[in-house]
Copies of this chain bind each other. A is one copy, B any other.
């Protein structure tokens, strides 16, 4: 079970709605091999396990080790989850109900596997190895189709009594505002996620407001890709610019308010939207957040982009796998 550098190897898996990523990770947190598969999102639990296993095996081959070199595994998964038993209770994006993904992968690897919330795993990766390195109090926000978060207080993830803390997408920003997927109105997710922007763009298209996004979204069955949005902004498309600005404004207000509540040293913003829109977008979020923050008169609190990209969840899951070994 010894790794190349003397410490045991672990596997980190990022189970996403569209792709599965796996990494074989050394004791000094380097990814020695990677795997990638399309998520068979509609085909149920066993198909996901099958794809995940292939993905892990691919990473093992690239790392040049066999399954029995792996001391533990970690999976970042959408949920809700039963983290104690490693079961996905259900998922909006995967056609899965009460599927024991953790025990199943553990049987494949003949090693213990922990399953944790995907956003939390990504936030933990950024905290320990990415933009949050060296800090003790962190708010991580991941902005994509939805908005999720991971709160670190005094060096530890806030899990809450329900194990579901970190749902920062569902703070209210504009009471009575646009409908949210959760059923309420005016949540941050309903104002600042890619889904929220897509909804506004679709309305503009309906009103015949000229925008390059109309044709692009029509080609993708109404879906908006972060990359297309970023291109449209770069081309100064007025609808894209206006909606991105608006979404960034509300995101800043929400994150600024959370800074007042939690007083972190750093706010880390990742996810597809953040990756695609880059620093000019981050600047908009920053301006809006700083106006809302009253607990930091000297402007010491950092507001930065996530630095690990797609590796965040793989590394975070690997870290949690390793920690589970130490605790057991």
Contact = CB atoms under 8 A, between A and B. Distances in A.
Interface string A144-176: 000001010110101111111111101111111
A295 B164 contact: yes
Interface string A283-307: 0000000011011100011000000
B176 A174 contact: yes
Contact of A300 (B161, B257, B295): B161
Interface residues of chain A: helix, strand, loop or mixed (majority): loop
Contacts of A291: 183-184
Nearest to A265: B161
Contacts of A176: 174
A149 B294 contact: no
Interface residues on A, range: 35 or more
Given A153-B153, A175-B174, A250-B175, A295 B137 contact: no
Contacts of A161: 136-137, 263-265, 300-301
Given A162-B301, A301-B161, A260 B167 contact: yes
Contact of A260 (B153, B168, B257, B300): B168
A167 B158 CA distance: 18
A312 B165 CA distance: 27
A78 interface: no
A262 B172 CA distance: 14
A167 B295 contact: yes
Contact of A173 (B160, B175, B182): B175
A263 B294 contact: no
Nearest to A292: B184
Please indicate which of the listed interface residues A171, A254, A258, A261 has the most CB atoms of chain B within 10 Å of its own CB: A261
